[in-house]
Structure 1
């Protein structure tokens, strides 16, 4: 498996067990390019990130950052110094907030002489459907309209890409920068459960729509043979 091929696949490490997280990385690091952590980071901190990075893979730190611009600037410096590769931002915090984290990350990278992480605006969680958007979040319009609005805002703020459902990449990419990075959760092989995702698609559909990186979790992590499951997903991504 080439580096280019495996870097189309990200495995969500949805567990708090540090040994299980690192064991999974060791088992699959030749097949998976990115590993996503969120709650595990809250429990184990930067040391866990450094241990994963030491295994020569890339880390997707899924923090969905949202705070006042000054606080986000500190986050921009911190995640750049930590050396992660992808970080999520909540665009609903506005342009000033997103610009502050992007500028701080760029400034820190220049000081260190390194690259900065790609900053990704989260459009709408794939657990949000039309009913939730209109009746619980009290946002008018369609899901597609809201995804587009947040994606354009992320681009205007200087972020590097977005997180969106598989079908939405194709619909909006012509309005966004040519080098935008599209991360798609909620993809699965045909016949697999949707779990708590509502806006989904197959791995092949996501790639055909222009996805840069597919985030897969339970289909691989809970498989009896995780390497076989990862290879099955990769076959659908790269064929």
Structure 2
């Protein structure tokens, strides 16, 4: 059974002004979870995360750390102090890196007196095609088997869940288990183009497959009416698989 996690808005904008302009469209009482990625974080720094937390939003800080274990632990210690809800590493960084990432989050959160964020490992990016996996990453495994192998590695190393395409969820839940977070990007309404995503699904398809939470970017932030777009997708997500 899937967890009733949030529909996370991926705010891939370049400035604080764009972010403020976007969130001001919503009722302040709307409990939004906002994903901050590299572009905004590198442009505005940690203060943009603290400002959102102070305003009452939940934050998914998506920096996809991938470095030697000690460096990742130190970076995650700083993230752990912030009070964000989710953060990410690349599963391809290996078991020791993931273990050290989790340790850093726990240390930072303990020092700050906040709840540690859930550590999510990126398996294969939703932009990666089976052809790219075979020819560019030189993987001998098919996509589903590769994602399952990385998810097992992440779980055994202390991660709380994975970022994964909905297309691999059936195999993941069978091989890795139900009591693990499966957070799915690449979510699109039926009438929305795939853009640079190659493995996509609708909110209903993701819910039926067993997603724990969704990540939606351009279908909401590029909509003529982002509030209505968000509410429509949220309604579909909450009403699916009941």
Report the TM-score, using the length of structure 2 for normalisation: 0.92
Q: Is the 8 A contact 2:82 2:109 kept in 1?
A: no
Q: Which secondary structure does the structure 1 equivalent of 2:56 belong to?
A: coil
| 1:177 Cα deviation from its structure 2 partner | 4.5
RMSD between aligned residues:
1.7
Q: Give deviations 1:69-125, integer Å, cap 9, x for gaps.
A: 111111121001122111110111111111011012113323333210111000111
Separation in 2 of the partners of 1:142 and 1:32? Answer: 39
Query: Which has the larger displacement, 168-177 or 212-221?
Result: 168-177
Separation in 2 of the partners of 1:202 and 1:117? Answer: 27
- How do 1:1-239 and structure 2 match up within 5 A? 8-28=6-26, 30-31=29-30, 33-38=32-37, 39-239=39-239
Separation in 2 of the partners of 1:41 and 1:171? Answer: 34
Separation in 2 of the partners of 1:30 and 1:129? Answer: 40
Q: Which secondary structure does the structure 1 equivalent of 2:81 belong to?
A: helix
Query: Which has the larger displacement, 27-36 or 125-134?
Result: 27-36
Gaps of 5+ in 2: none
Separation in 2 of the partners of 1:70 and 1:86? Answer: 20
Separation in 2 of the partners of 1:142 and 1:169? Answer: 15
Separation in 2 of the partners of 1:224 and 1:23? Answer: 14
Q: Is the 8 A contact 1:25 1:35 kept in 2?
A: no
Q: Which secondary structure does the structure 1 equivalent of 2:8 belong to?
A: strand
| 1:175 Cα deviation from its structure 2 partner | 2.5
Separation in 1 of the partners of 2:152 and 2:25? Answer: 38
Report the TM-score, using the length of structure 1 for normalisation: 0.93
Q: Which secondary structure does the structure 2 equivalent of 1:188 belong to?
A: coil
Gaps of 5+ in 1: none
Q: Is the 8 A contact 1:10 1:32 kept in 2?
A: no
Q: Is the 8 A contact 2:81 2:111 kept in 1?
A: no
| 1:166 Cα deviation from its structure 2 partner | 1.2
Aligned length: 235
